[in-house]
Amino acid sequence: MIDLKSQYMGLKLRNPLVAGSSGLTNSVENIIELEKNGISAVVLKSLFEEQIHYRVSQIIMEDEYANLYPEVENYIRNYTTENDVNTYLRLIENAKKAVNIPVIASINCISDTAWMAYAKKIEVAGADGLELNVAVLPSDPDKEGNENEKIYFNIARKISQELEIPVAIKLSCYFSGLAKTLIGLSRTGIKALVLFNRFYSPDIDVEHEEVKSSFVFSTPSDVALPLRWIAMLSPIVKCDIAASTGVHGGNALIKLLLVGADVVQIASVLYKKGFREVGSMIEQLESWMYRHNYSSIDEFRGKLSVTETENPAAYERIQFMKHFSGIE
Ligand SMILES: Cc1cc2nc3c(=O)[nH]c(=O)nc-3n(C[C@H](O)[C@H](O)[C@H](O)COP(=O)(O)O)c2cc1C
């Protein structure tokens, strides 16, 4: 008998496959379908701190009264923010009524102040957890690396004190001291790290000589990034780890569990192959466990992390050498 039960941020899950935050987790209908197809938890589309500010400024710029009367500007600012937040809170409440799987809310934030008021409302609305997508691009030439890192630490500490529901932090790999930063963050009271976020990236249209958006979706080879870092960090961080980026099938799911992920999040594959892929990934995991004589995930989770594998150098090496890559 194969048991896929998993634990993540203190939540009990029926398996380790979680729907990551995306436009697909922005409606109750989709969340119901994801549950039917076997997903174990959903992370809702993020409430964007940036987006709220942008929308408010847009409305204010368009409104002539707002330009003339500052009190109108205040009214619009509060009304627009409240409206966006209220829609989000309703999504949480309705999703919680409609499904039995955990519903994790998500806030995309770039500071440690403005959005804190929303987080408490999210907890009251019934979210089972909160994932904070913290996105600070270290592109300011006048800023030291530790100034950027401080933003993450302030957010992690403040929010863990503020909320009772478990909190996860989702971040990118853009840190000069990635391992130390992640270990430090895992000690702040947060319950999980989501490794890694995939950002919108620019690309160039050479015919029109213009900047355009690059591919929104990941590809299967992108899984190499979380795989390496989870293999190296899972034995030492003090909280759970969710893998994210490049998981396009059952094999990638198995690999990330083998290097020590507690759960695995998927987004692009749901867009590309549809919700039925969830069932097929779970079946691949079960059949692999059956063939390898495993009856529970804990029997093999982390078996190929840097401390358990016979070949730890494979994770540390970054230059191509024939001995490692097999190609001259
Ligand atoms: C269309 C789309 C929308 C997304 N929206 C969000 C979002 O609102 N918040 C967030 O934290 N991540 C968002 N993501 C990122 C995903 O949650 C995920 O981290 C990333 O796509 C890598 O996983 P994947 O390779 O399975 O797609 C989005 C991804 C896609 C493709």
CA of 196 to the centre of ligand 1 (A): 10
Query: Which residue is listed with tokens 């079960």?
Result: 286
Neighbour tally for 13: CB within 10 Å: 20
Query: Which residue is listed with tokens 């008021």?
Result: 117
The string of pLDDT tens digits covering residues 21-32 is: 999 999 999 999
pTM more than 0.75: yes
CA of 53 to the centre of ligand 1 (A): 21
CA of 22 to the centre of ligand 1 (A): 5
Strand-pairing partners, residue 133, are 108, 170
Q: Of all protein residues, whose CA lies closest to atom 28 belonging to ligand 1?
A: 22
How many residues belong to the chain? 328
Q: What is the pLDDT of residue 73?
A: 57
- Pairing relationship of beta strands 129-134 and 167-171 according to DSSP bridges: parallel
Q: Of all protein residues, whose CA lies closest to atom 29 belonging to ligand 1?
A: 22
Assess whether pLDDT exceeds 80 at residue 51. no
Q: Of all protein residues, whose CA lies closest to atom 12 belonging to ligand 1?
A: 21
CA of 268 to the centre of ligand 1 (A): 7
Assess whether pLDDT exceeds 60 at residue 119. yes
Q: What is the pLDDT of residue 118?
A: 85
The string of pLDDT tens digits covering residues 126-147 is: 999 999 999 888 888 888 888 8
Give 277 or 321, the one with higher predicted confidence: 277
Assess whether pLDDT exceeds 60 at residue 83. yes
CA of 275 to the centre of ligand 1 (A): 15
Looking from the CA of residue 196, the nearest atom of ligand 1 is 19
Instruction: Report whether 266 contacts 19 (CB < 8 A).
Output: yes
Residue 53: phi, psi to the nearest 5?
A: -65, -40
Looking from the CA of residue 23, the nearest atom of ligand 1 is 3
Nearest to 235 by CA among 315, 314, 308: 308
CA–CA distance, 98 with 183 (Å, rounded to integer) = 37
User: pLDDT confidence of 115, banded at 50, 70, 90?
Assistant: confident
CA of 193 to the centre of ligand 1 (A): 15
Q: What is the pLDDT of residue 75?
A: 53
Q: What is the pLDDT of residue 72?
A: 52
Give me the helices (H) in 63-99, please: 64-68, 70-98
Looking from the CA of residue 268, the nearest atom of ligand 1 is 27
Taking the alpha carbons at both ends of the chain, their separation in whole angstroms is 46
Mean pLDDT for the chain overall: 89
Tokens representing residue 182 in the block: 């992640």
CA of 107 to the centre of ligand 1 (A): 13
Assess whether pLDDT exceeds 60 at residue 54. no
Out of 21, 109, 218, 227, mutate this one to test ligand 1's pocket (max ligand atoms within 8 Å of CB): namely: 21
Burial of 47 (0-12, 13-18, 19+ CB in 10 A): buried
Assess whether pLDDT exceeds 70 at residue 70. no
The string of pLDDT tens digits covering residues 194-240 is: 999 988 788 899 999 999 888 889 999 999 999 999 999 999 999 99
Looking from the CA of residue 266, the nearest atom of ligand 1 is 26
175: preceding bond cis by omega (within 30 degrees): no
pLDDT above 70 covers a percentage of the chain that reads 87
CA of 272 to the centre of ligand 1 (A): 13
CA of 189 to the centre of ligand 1 (A): 24
Instruction: Report whether 108 contacts 75 (CB < 8 A).
Output: no
Q: What is the pLDDT of residue 139?
A: 85
Out of 17, 134, 198, 214, mutate this one to test ligand 1's pocket (max ligand atoms within 8 Å of CB): namely: 198
Nearest to 127 by CA among 79, 80, 159, 158: 159
User: pLDDT confidence of 79, banded at 50, 70, 90?
Assistant: low
Assess whether pLDDT exceeds 50 at residue 38. yes
295-311 b/e with 16+ CB inside 10 Å = b? eebeebbbebbbeebee
Q: What is the pLDDT of residue 65?
A: 47
CA–CA distance, 40 with 13 (Å, rounded to integer) = 6
Instruction: Report whether 122 contacts 95 (CB < 8 A).
Output: no
Which residues have C-beta atoms less than 6 Å from ligand 1?
20-23, 45-46, 106, 108, 133, 170, 197-198, 216-218, 222, 244-247, 266-269
Query: Which residue is listed with tokens 């729907």?
Result: 19
Assess whether pLDDT exceeds 60 at residue 105. yes
CA–CA distance, 124 with 118 (Å, rounded to integer) = 10
CA–CA distance, 158 with 185 (Å, rounded to integer) = 12
- Pairing relationship of beta strands 6-8 and 11-13 according to DSSP bridges: antiparallel
Looking from the CA of residue 197, the nearest atom of ligand 1 is 19
**Positive or negative, the Cα torsion across 120, 122, 126, 129?**
negative
Task: Tell me if residue 211 falls in helix, strand or coil.
Answer: strand
